[in-house]
Amino acid sequence: MLKTTVLFGHPASPESFETYYSETHLPLAAKTQGVSKLELTKFVANPDESSPAYYRMAELYFTGPDEMQQALSSPEGKAMAADLGNFATGGVTIIVGTVEN
């Protein structure tokens, strides 16, 4: 199983980010065929009360590399990726890895 992790930096306006993310971006992600699981995380303060390194994380799971490539190359997957620039004012880091159980 492969996982694509999207790490969102702290946005200029958390309120604007949250509105756009929930009302526009997540519906795009939901339309992307081939995503076998989607996990969303909103980070909180670290145990020492310092700010977390990232604001949010989205984890998209795929059964294999072919399924991931198909999903991200689809019109829906391309729209989802292109949409990041519309709201992710804190920057985005995307990493891909193999899930080990």
Give the tokens for residue 1.
Answer: 């199983």
Give the residues across from 32 on adjacent strands: none
Tens-digit pLDDT profile for residues 39-85: 999 999 999 999 999 999 999 999 999 999 999 999 999 999 999 99
pLDDT at 101: 81
Closest by Cα among 50, 42, 38 to 4: 38
Q: Which residue range forms the structural domain that includes residue 12?
A: 2-98
The domain total for the chain is 1
Global confidence as pTM: 0.92
Q: Which residue has the higher pLDDT, 29 or 10?
A: 10
CATH of the domain at 46: 3.30.70.100
Burial (0-12, 13-18, 19+ Cβ within 10 Å), 43: middle
Q: What is the mean pLDDT of residues 96-101?
A: 93
39/25 Cα distance (integer angstroms)? 14
Q: What rounded mean pLDDT belongs to the chain?
A: 95
Instruction: Please classify residue 90 by burial: count the beta carbons closer than 10 Å to its beta carbon, then call 0-12 exposed, 13-18 middle and 19+ buried.
Output: middle
Question: Tokens for 50?
Answer: 């310092």
| Mean pLDDT on 24-28 | 94
